């Protein structure tokens, strides 16, 4: 996207214009951030009141932090797990889920491909697919097909995955237990209500179900390599429409995807609650709650 500081260009805010551009698009990607899940009650990280304004991200979301204080890190991720377990997908999640279904999408953007690249770890986008399958039985087989299931790339991992820290084991499993271990019960109040932080012995923290070693949350931490990078790079290089939803465009490599799409001649549409750095370079900009603007823009209201 243009980096000219003197530019007085403002993105188009006309919904019918975006609808026409979307209809003409063939290789569509969406890049989703924490703002997509905000309406579901999931705390954001960098916006006003974001978690990283209150807590030190380097002390909670790095391999080094976990090695130094696994008790503190597990309490933080227990809090996040409990928030996600109590949340429900919102209309923004559901709109993207519906748009990922070819029989629905081709009525909006004929003969198009679509991939959702989400930076969120809360699992709500995948749960939205399950909700669509349950509420629209006629779409269930299509929703559960590899074409739809594989069209979502969770590049920062999954909050409900638990991974063994023993490099000779490395077992990963999906675990939605609440709490994940008895010692963490109630510690979510450390982050939700500023209660004193207890120290939990390592022996009482989650452990690998196979080898018994200490386990860690299955998310991508700062300093680790996001998932699917090669696949995403290919998708971005071919995309002719990039829909950016609920992200402050400050975490790379995702922050560079919209720029690359536009540099390659594609269009960029940004859906954010408020103005953020870089969105003035977008082709289309729709401010307001994504759970309101996105279903309308995708023709799925």
Which residues form the catalytic set? 156
End-to-end CA distance of the chain: 30
Cα–chain-centroid distance for residue 92? 12
* Cα separation, 171 vs 251, whole angstroms: 28
* Cα separation, 269 vs 272, whole angstroms: 10
Collapse the DSSP code of 213 into the 3-class scheme (helix H, G, I; strand E, B; otherwise coil) and give the result. coil
Give whole-number Cα distances, 138 to 129, 135, 142, 145, 268, in Å.
13, 9, 8, 13, 32
Q: What pairing do the DSSP bridges indicate for beta strands 267-272 and 241-245?
A: parallel
Collapse the DSSP code of 131 into the 3-class scheme (helix H, G, I; strand E, B; otherwise coil) and give the result. helix
Based on C-alpha coordinates, what's the Rg of the chain? 20
Q: Under a CB-based contact definition with an 8 Å cutoff, are residues 104 and 114 in contact?
A: no
The contacts of residue 301 (CB under 8 Å, 6+ apart) are 295
> Within a 10 A sphere around the Cβ of 188, how many other Cβ atoms?
21
Q: What pairing do the DSSP bridges indicate for beta strands 27-32 and 113-118?
A: parallel
* Cα separation, 163 vs 169, whole angstroms: 9
The first and second tokens of residue 300, run together, are 């799925």
């Amino acid at each position: 996207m243009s980096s000219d500081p003197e530019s007085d260009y403002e993105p188009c805010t006309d919904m019918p214009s975006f609808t026409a551009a979307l209809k003409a698009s063939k290789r569509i990607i969406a890049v989703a951030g924490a703002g997509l899940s905000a309406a579901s009650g999931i705390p954001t990280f960098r916006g006003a009141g974001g978690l990283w304004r209150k807590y030190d991200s380097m002390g909670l979301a790095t391999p080094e932090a976990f090695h130094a204080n696994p008790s503190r890190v597990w309490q933080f991720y227990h809090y996040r797990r409990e928030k996600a377990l109590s949340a429900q997908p919102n209309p923004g999640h559901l709109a993207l889920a519906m748009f990922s279904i070819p029989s629905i999408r081709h009525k909006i953007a004929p003969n198009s491909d679509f991939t959702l690249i989400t930076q969120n770890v809360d699992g709500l986008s995948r749960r939205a697919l399950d909700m669509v399958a349950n509420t629209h039985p006629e779409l269930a087989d299509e929703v559960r097909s590899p074409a739809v299931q594989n069209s979502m790339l969770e590049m920062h991992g999954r909050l409900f995955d638990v991974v063994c820290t023993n490099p000779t084991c490395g077992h990963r499993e999906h675990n939605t237990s609440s709490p994940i271990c008895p010692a963490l019960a109630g510690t979510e109040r450390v982050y939700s209500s500023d209660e004193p932080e207890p120290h939990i012995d390592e022996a009482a923290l989650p452990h690998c179900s196979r080898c018994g070693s200490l386990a860690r949350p299955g998310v991508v931490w700062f300093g680790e390599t996001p998932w699917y990078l090669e696949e995403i790079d290919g998708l971005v290089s071919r995309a002719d429409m990039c829909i950016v939803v609920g992200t402050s465009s400050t975490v790379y490599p995702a922050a560079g995807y919209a720029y690359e799409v536009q540099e390659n001649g594609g269009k960029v549409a940004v859906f954010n609650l408020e103005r953020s750095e870089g969105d003035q370079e977008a082709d289309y900009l729709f401010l307001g709650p994504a759970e309101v603007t996105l279903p309308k823009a995708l023709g799925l209201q």
